[in-house]
Amino acid sequence: MRFRTGVLIGMVAALTAGCTLAGNDTDDAASTVTLVTHDSFAAPQQVLDAFQQQTGITVNVVKKGDAGALTNALVLTKADPIGDAAFGVDSTFASRALAEGVFAPYTSPEADRGPQRYAVDSEHRLSAVDLGDVCVNIDTTWFAERGIPEPATYDDLVKPEYKDLLVVENPATSSPGLAFLLGTVARYGEQNWQGYWTQLRNNGVRTAAGWEEAYSQDFSGSSGKGPRPIVVSYASSPAAEIGDDGKPRTKALLDTCYRQVEYAGVLAGSPNADKAQKVIDFLLSQQFQVTVPENMYVYPARAGVALPASWTAAAPLPPNPASLPAETVQAGRERWIEQWRSLLGQ
Amino acid sequence: MSRAGLGLAALAAVPLGFLVVFFAWPVGAILRLGFVDGGVLDALTEGETWRLAWFTVAQAAGSTLIAVVAGLPVAFLLARVRLPGVAVVRTLVLVPFVLPTVVVGLAFRALWTDGGWMSIVLANAFFNVAVVGRTVAGLWALLDTRAEDAARALGASRWRAFRSVTLPALMPAITSAAAVVFLFCATSFGVVLILGGARYRTLETEIYLRTENLLDLTGAAALSLVQIAAVLAALLLGAAARRRRESALRLRSRRETARRPVGGEWAVIGGAVVVLGLLLTPIVALLVRSVSTEDGWSLAGYRALSSTGNDGTLQVSGWEAAMNSLRTATDATVLAMIIGVSASVLLVALRRAPGRLARGVGESMDAALMLPLGVSAVTVGFGYLITLDALPGDLRTSPLLVPLAQALVVIPLVIRTVLPVVRSIDDRLRQAAATLGANPLRVWREIDVPLTLRAVVAAAGFGYVVALGEFGATSFLARPQTPTLPVAIASLIARPGQLNNQMAYAACALLMLVTAAAVIVIDRLASGRVGEF
């Protein structure tokens, strides 16, 4: 009986101590900038702390799903923004955010270090923070063991020797899936991409809902050891698949890449705009950019930032990735997804 | 208004207020946006909409049927059998319930590639066997065995006695559980998305797609209306089934009713063991996965739990994420219990109140309180974004949102667990106590509390476990500084690299362990208290 009472008291104590409902934010609102971002955002705490020490600004990070969900959350709340700055709207969705007037113009002094190479609008409402290339990845061991030559281009993927070997993500539910679809539109044009996908379908392409399933379940080159040696992933993925011998076991096909640029901007209507601008400067600074590859698996947008050693060997930046103009993507995105779904019978 | 009426109104204010502010208003606002754009009616007449609705209902019905069939032997084992190991089973069946859907989806695909719609049905059932097993066992353990014994003495076979005496008495709990399971399956999201690929889609995945990716609020609103209508229909059917079957029951302690099985009962035990084996298969697969690498067995994933993952994927360590889970689940459970228990008491009072009006109000409220299970988490999440700025203190980016959203998911479950027991209390017990001179407080303390405490604690335990595993709303609302375990697992699994993968599966094992520990503590408390009356 006494034991039970003890447990009960312990539980009650744990309840009250652990209660986040009872606690409240002690952050001083004036020195806090709320940065709304997507689920893939990651930054070392010590870098954020250092920024806080230098400027007195605390960055309060709020995540809102993937790039699409983030953009939509920003559009829905533009009358009363949920934050002061946003990071993670990518080139696929940037046109939607710009058309809806989500961002305020701001040209960062850091932007002349390269990020403006990827500018999307003349008013500089968005600054490029990083870029990632979605490319077809292959399991090199699989091909070596069977003596089958490795594929290299989109055209190779529809050849009979690569039948039933490719897995792609659904563009309606996955951002690399959408990038790959846009890559095929860029390569074959608005008239012919459906013909290419018909060939892919006839060659036994498999579709997965998201990157996790495709990469860690279907792909043979990941630790999941799936059945298929060709997958749509990122140019940087092979850096994570380096074996004990120091050699990468997978490879990105650099002729099949589609570039996505991720942007940050000050939210229109933020009462904290001047401090939000400081956060944009921070995201473009050398200090933050150098953390980008290992934390978010993307390439820094700033020029002259050193890549980790494993990246130079396994994940070089593709020299000539494809991309489509933002307006073209904005005009076609939903229609192409719809056509893709009916084409693949899904 | 009479004093009793005032009391009822005060009691009603708590659950209704919560529901209006944190559910009806945000959801209504999103639906309104859809209507403003126009075209909702057009979307409703599309064949595609009805194909989606049909598949949604069909797969949910299939999963519910399987969960009930698999859950009943387990309920029997938990409620009526005195054998070593029953306590372990009680804990074990809850484990599937908290596993993140993305992980279970991966496990099912690893065990059964190309399972198609059957794998969706089975995975949904896998998650929900515990709902049936534990909800039904909650009532079954308290049923007086004497009516069944009398039937046996009059010459009925064991099966006949079960069918004509026990089963009707259990029916409220079974239909309650089935209603909850149906709602869970009709709105299950991650499982359908992963196992259905792009081929099998439900209303829920389509609402998600149109809201989150396409910003097609008109289409999403139309589909939400269909989904809400389907959920309401299911709830009304369930309510009708309950109305016909429900009656006051004699309740007894499990200590008096559990015994060693005899004769044909061993076959039922066998069935329960088969079910447990099937439930364990994906769990074991996950555990094996957490310790296997390219070069053999390794505990690297478990060691990595004290870190932030390969290259700092997480902002906090795996252990801190576990602590966050415990904390938010505690908050959510406390909230949900306050609201769910007051709602249950209110619903029973309305049902017993004289007049058809009160009863009608009670039944509509019963249905309304279940609706949060039938509305897409994205709809609620986006609804919060466009409404809660009107409240003082910007709740939209507040850490409070996670427990609030989790409570919304837990409340219907609390009501469905507590309500059948509160309703089964024979009012004559209370009248007798009152006649013997007990004041209302004393009646409540001596009759209501002891008889319902087990169900209340069971509901709290259940709710706690659901909150621990909740992923949909949490992933949308959780802050990176304070991820819960399921959110951390999802981030880890979304990165390439063997170590991240192993750490994700090790975190899954940790989630199972935390769940089991929570369930053991709560069950201990419950059985201890109930044994005293």
Contact with chain B for residue A10, Cβ under 8 A: no
Cα gap B309→A326, rounded to integer Å: 35
Please check whether residues A150 and A51 belong to one and the same domain: no
User: What pLDDT, on a 0 to 100 scale, did the predictor assign at position A228?
Assistant: 95
Q: Name the band, by pLDDT with cuts 50, 70 and 90, for residue B256.
A: low
Which two three-digit tokens encode residue A203? 């060659």
Residue A9 domain-assigned (yes or no): no
Residue B69 has pLDDT above 90, yes or no: yes
Q: Name the band, by pLDDT with cuts 50, 70 and 90, for residue A2.
A: very low
Please check whether residues A201 and A324 belong to one and the same domain: yes
Please check whether residues A138 and A88 belong to one and the same domain: no
Residues of chain A numbered 151-210 and touching chain B (CB < 8 Å): 170, 172-173, 207-210
How many Cβ atoms sit within 10 Å of the Cβ of residue A18? 18
> How wide is the angle at C-alpha B487 spanned by C-alphas A182 and A11, nearest 5°?
170
pLDDT digits (tens, 9 = 90+) for B180-195: 899 889 888 888 888 8
Compare CB distances from A213 to B106, B312, B490 and report the shortest one's residue. Answer: B106
Please check whether residues A116 and A264 belong to one and the same domain: yes
Residue A19 domain-assigned (yes or no): no
Residue A22 has pLDDT above 80, yes or no: no
Q: Is A317 exposed, middle or buried (0-12, 13-18, 19+ CB in 10 A)?
A: middle
Please check whether residues A65 and A102 belong to one and the same domain: yes
ipTM: 0.78
User: What pLDDT, on a 0 to 100 scale, did the predictor assign at position A130?
Assistant: 94
Chain B positions touching A19 (Cβ under 8 A) are: 327, 330-331, 334
Residue A10 has pLDDT above 70, yes or no: no
Pick the residue from chain A with its C-alpha nearest to B112: A217
pTM of the model: 0.82
User: What pLDDT, on a 0 to 100 scale, did the predictor assign at position B102?
Assistant: 76
Cα gap B20→B28, rounded to integer Å: 10
- B372-406: burial string, b at 16+ Cβ within 10 Å, e else: bbbbbbbbbbbbbbbbbbeeeeebbbbbbbbbbbb
Please check whether residues B21 and B112 belong to one and the same domain: no
Rounded mean pLDDT, B426-444: 81
Residue A83 domain-assigned (yes or no): yes
Which two three-digit tokens encode residue A235? 């140019």
Compare CB distances from B386 to A39, A76, A173 and report the shortest one's residue. Answer: A76
Pick the residue from chain A with its C-alpha nearest to B386: A77
> Distance from B3 to chain A by nearest Cα, in Å?
33
Pick the residue from chain A with its C-alpha nearest to B394: A82
Contact with chain B for residue A9, Cβ under 8 A: no
Please check whether residues A46 and A195 belong to one and the same domain: no
Identify which has the larger pLDDT, A327 or A186. A186
Please check whether residues B330 and B283 belong to one and the same domain: no
The single residue listed with the structure tokens 């209902």 is B57
Mutate which: B18, B101, B215, vs A, most A CBs within 10 A: B215
Please check whether residues A173 and A237 belong to one and the same domain: yes
Please check whether residues B277 and B189 belong to one and the same domain: yes
User: What pLDDT, on a 0 to 100 scale, did the predictor assign at position A122?
Assistant: 80
Please check whether residues B280 and B314 belong to one and the same domain: no
User: What pLDDT, on a 0 to 100 scale, did the predictor assign at position B26?
Assistant: 92
> Which domain-ending residue is among B261, B290, B319?
B290
Compare CB distances from B106 to A68, A96, A217 and report the shortest one's residue. Answer: A217
User: What pLDDT, on a 0 to 100 scale, did the predictor assign at position B172?
Assistant: 82
Q: Name the band, by pLDDT with cuts 50, 70 and 90, for residue B532.
A: very low
Chain B positions touching A18 (Cβ under 8 A) are: 326-327, 330-331
User: What pLDDT, on a 0 to 100 scale, did the predictor assign at position B527?
Assistant: 58
Domain span including residue A210: 134-258+319-344
User: What pLDDT, on a 0 to 100 scale, did the predictor assign at position B460?
Assistant: 87
User: What pLDDT, on a 0 to 100 scale, did the predictor assign at position A14?
Assistant: 47
pLDDT digits (tens, 9 = 90+) for A194-222: 999 999 999 999 998 888 889 988 999 98
Q: Which amino acid is at A293?
A: P
Please check whether residues B301 and B219 belong to one and the same domain: no
Helix B3-19 and helix B318-352: axis angle, to 10°? 140
Residue A346 has pLDDT above 90, yes or no: no
Q: Do A20 and B382 touch (CB under 8 A)?
A: no
Report yes or no: B412 and B372 within 8 Å, Cβ to Cβ: yes
Question: Measured between alpha carbons, how far is residue B97 from residues A147, B131, B369, B463, B509 in Å?
Answer: 46, 8, 22, 11, 13
User: What pLDDT, on a 0 to 100 scale, did the predictor assign at position A17?
Assistant: 43
> Which domain-ending residue is among B290, B309, B328?
B290
Identify which has the larger pLDDT, B30 or A256. A256
Report yes or no: A166 and A200 within 8 Å, Cβ to Cβ: yes
Please check whether residues A199 and A323 belong to one and the same domain: yes
Compare CB distances from B212 to A72, A241, A243 and report the shortest one's residue. Answer: A72
> How wide is the angle at C-alpha B406 spanned by C-alphas A12 and B322, nearest 5°?
60
Residue A12 domain-assigned (yes or no): no
Cα gap B100→B488, rounded to integer Å: 10
Please check whether residues A127 and A138 belong to one and the same domain: no
Please check whether residues B391 and B280 belong to one and the same domain: no
Please check whether residues A186 and A325 belong to one and the same domain: yes
The single residue listed with the structure tokens 């049902």 is B351
Residue B207 has pLDDT above 60, yes or no: yes
Pick the residue from chain B with its C-alpha nearest to A63: B479
Contact with chain B for residue A78, Cβ under 8 A: no
Cα gap A45→A50, rounded to integer Å: 9
Question: Measured between alpha carbons, how far is residue A315 from residues A90, A309, A319, B53 in Å?
Answer: 21, 10, 12, 45
Residue A18 domain-assigned (yes or no): no
Cα gap B94→B74, rounded to integer Å: 12
Q: Do B479 and A61 touch (CB under 8 A)?
A: yes
Compare CB distances from A68 to B213, B496, B497 and report the shortest one's residue. Answer: B213
Identify the DSSP state of B45. Answer: T
Most distant pair of Cα atoms in chain A: their distance: 78
Contacts of residue B196, defined as CB under 8 A and 6 or more positions apart, other chains included, come to A209, B117, B120, B202, B205
> What total of structural domains would you count in chain A?
2
Q: Do A224 and B501 touch (CB under 8 A)?
A: yes
User: What pLDDT, on a 0 to 100 scale, did the predictor assign at position B245?
Assistant: 55
User: What pLDDT, on a 0 to 100 scale, did the predictor assign at position B265?
Assistant: 83
Please check whether residues B198 and B335 belong to one and the same domain: no
**CATH code assigned at A155:** 3.40.190.10
Radius of gyration of chain A, Cα coordinates, nearest whole angstrom: 23
> What total of structural domains would you count in chain B?
2
Contact with chain B for residue A21, Cβ under 8 A: yes
Mean of all residue pLDDT scores within chain B: 83
pLDDT digits (tens, 9 = 90+) for A109-138: 888 777 777 887 888 899 999 999 999 999
**CATH code assigned at B205:** 1.10.3720.10
Contacts of residue B418, defined as CB under 8 A and 6 or more positions apart, other chains included, come to B340, B341, B344, B452, B455, B456, B459
Cα gap B213→B354, rounded to integer Å: 50
Q: Name the band, by pLDDT with cuts 50, 70 and 90, for residue A294.
A: confident
Please check whether residues B441 and B514 belong to one and the same domain: yes
Please check whether residues A163 and A218 belong to one and the same domain: yes
Compare CB distances from A216 to B196, B385, B493 and report the shortest one's residue. Answer: B493
Compare CB distances from A295 to B199, B215, B312 and report the shortest one's residue. Answer: B312
Residue A188 has pLDDT above 90, yes or no: yes
Domain span including residue B400: 1-27+292-532
Residues of chain A numbered 211-240 and touching chain B (CB < 8 Å): 211-213, 215-217, 222-224, 227, 233-234, 237, 240
Report yes or no: B198 and A207 within 8 Å, Cβ to Cβ: yes
Most distant pair of Cα atoms in chain B: their distance: 75
Please check whether residues B210 and B342 belong to one and the same domain: no
Chain A positions touching B294 (Cβ under 8 A) are: 223, 243
Chain B positions touching A215 (Cβ under 8 A) are: 496
Identify which has the larger pLDDT, A76 or A27. A76
Which two three-digit tokens encode residue B209? 């797609």
Cα gap B215→A334, rounded to integer Å: 10
Residue A302 domain-assigned (yes or no): yes
pLDDT digits (tens, 9 = 90+) for B367-395: 788 888 878 888 888 888 889 888 887 78
Contacts of residue A279, defined as CB under 8 A and 6 or more positions apart, other chains included, come to A33, A35, A57, A59, A84, A85
What percent of chain B is predicted at pLDDT more than 70? 93
CA dihedral B252, B253, B254, B258 (to 10 degrees): -60
- B444-461: burial string, b at 16+ Cβ within 10 Å, e else: eebbbeebbbbbbbbbbb
Please check whether residues B243 and B349 belong to one and the same domain: no
pLDDT digits (tens, 9 = 90+) for A136-177: 999 999 999 999 999 999 999 999 999 999 999 999 888 899
Residue B173 has pLDDT above 80, yes or no: yes
Rounded mean pLDDT, B202-224: 87
> Distance from A269 to chain B by nearest Cα, in Å?
14
What percent of chain A is predicted at pLDDT more than 70? 91
> Which domain-ending residue is among B273, B290, B307?
B290
Please check whether residues B267 and B344 belong to one and the same domain: no
Cα gap B180→B417, rounded to integer Å: 10
Q: Do B494 and A40 touch (CB under 8 A)?
A: yes
Compare CB distances from B501 to A18, A64, A216 and report the shortest one's residue. Answer: A216
Question: Nearest-CA neighbor of B113 among B24, B197, B4, B51?
Answer: B197
Please check whether residues B198 and B333 belong to one and the same domain: no
Please check whether residues A248 and A329 belong to one and the same domain: yes
What percent of chain B is predicted at pLDDT more than 90? 15
The H or E element spanning position B290 is helix B265-291
Q: Name the band, by pLDDT with cuts 50, 70 and 90, for residue B334.
A: very high
Mean of all residue pLDDT scores within chain A: 87
Identify which has the larger pLDDT, B244 or B51. B51
